[in-house]
Amino acid sequence: MQTFRLFTLTASLAFGVAVSSPAFAQKEKKESFPNCKELRKKYPDGVEKGHPAYDPKLDRDKDGRACEPDTKNEKPPKAAP
């Protein structure tokens, strides 16, 4: 009986690890934007590496964040009337 319990516990743990492994994880649908202007229409603050819309080509300073607002060179948003 003790052997059966040990086998059941081991099998349960192995199954749990297999099911929760990244190979079985659902992949998020990749989003694609031709440029930062288009990406910012949906994500005004840009996107982090790992986000479905992240594209290294749009990460000009290679900091892991694509299309973030450039506070030095961009005009501030116009105030609403």
* The one-letter amino acid at 37: K
Residue with tokens 């590496």: 49
pTM over 0.85: no
36 is a domain residue:
yes
Q: Assess contact for 71 and 45: CB atoms under 8 A.
A: no
For the segment 22-59, what is each residue's pLDDT rounded down to a tens digit? 555 556 789 999 999 999 999 999 999 999 999 999 99
β-strand partners of 48: 65
Check residues 71 and 77 and name the one with the higher pLDDT.
71
63 is a domain residue:
yes
Question: What tokens does 46 get?
Answer: 């840009």
Residue 76 has pLDDT above 80, yes or no: no
20 is a domain residue:
no
> Is the C-alpha dihedral spanning 33, 80, 68, 37 positive or negative?
positive
Supply the range of the domain harboring residue 31.
26-69
Q: What is the tally of structural domains in the chain? A: 1
74 is a domain residue:
no
Confidence band (pLDDT; 50, 70, 90) for 17?
A: very low
CA dist 36 and 44 (Å) reads 9
Q: How far apart are the first and last CA of the chain?
A: 78
